[in-house]
Structures are given as structure tokens and as C-alpha cells.
């Protein structure tokens, strides 16, 4: 599928694959606290469209921003970087 524009990409781990053609991807990033000056882990869960139902829990995936696909889905799975064991 041809990509249009500058869509954001995020790496994350699949934490749920119970829905049909949808996976929940957990992304973690480090943010420096403005007062304490320590690095804090921020966690965000994204619902991503998985057309082939190929992802399983524990897979590392790359998701790309897309048009709204449902009420909560704004991302698509671009590729599976590493399969879970």
C-alpha cells in the first residue's frame, strides 16, 4: 500500500490480540521530569488495525498513523519486527 504524507511510526509490543483484525500495542518512552530531572517511563496503548490477524501477544511491531478506522483505531500495523516465542 502506498504511503501518503508524513505519517508517524511507533515501535511497540502487542499486549492483546483478542479482537478481530485489531491488536493493542504498548509503546514506552523515556521523558525527563521537569523538576526532579530523572527519566520517567511513559506508557501508551494504541489500537492498531491488523488486516491478516498475523500478530500475536509479545510480537514487536511497527505501527503507522492512518485515517480513523473506527472509534478508537487510528493506527495500522506496518510490519512485524520480531515474533514472540
The predicted pLDDT at position 84 comes to: 87
Residue 45 lies in domain: 9-82
Full 3-state SS string of the chain:
CCCCCCCCEEEEEEEECCCCCEEEEEEEEEEECCCCCCEEEEEEEEEEECCCCCCCCCCEEEEEECCCCCCCCCEEEEEEEECCC
Q: What is the mean pLDDT of residues 71-84?
A: 96
Whether 28 maps to a domain, the answer reads yes
Q: How far is CA 4 from the centre of its chain?
A: 19
Whether 1 maps to a domain, the answer reads no
Tens-digit pLDDT profile for residues 27-70:
999 999 999 999 999 999 999 999 999 999 999 999 999 999 99
| CATH number of the domain residue 32 falls in | 2.40.50.140
How many domains, the chain? 1
- Taking CA atoms, 69 is separated from 29, 48, 58, 80, in Å, by 25, 9, 24, 20
Whether 4 maps to a domain, the answer reads no
Query: Is residue 1 over pLDDT 90?
Result: no
- Taking the model in full, what pTM does it have? 0.87
Query: Is residue 16 over pLDDT 70?
Result: yes
Amino acid at each position: 500500500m502506498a504511503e501518503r504524507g508524513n505519517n508517524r511510526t511507533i515501535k511497540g509490543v502487542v499486549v492483546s490480540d483478542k479482537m478481530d483484525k485489531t491488536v493493542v500495542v504498548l509503546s514506552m518512552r523515556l521523558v525527563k521530569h521537569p523538576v526532579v530531572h530523572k527519566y520517567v517511563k511513559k506508557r501508551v496503548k494504541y489500537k492498531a488495525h491488523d488486516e491478516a490477524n498475523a500478530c500475536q501477544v509479545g510480537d514487536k511491531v511497527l505501527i503507522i498513523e492512518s485515517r480513523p478506522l473506527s472509534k478508537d483505531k487510528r493506527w495500522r500495523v506496518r510490519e512485524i519486527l520480531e515474533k514472540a516465542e
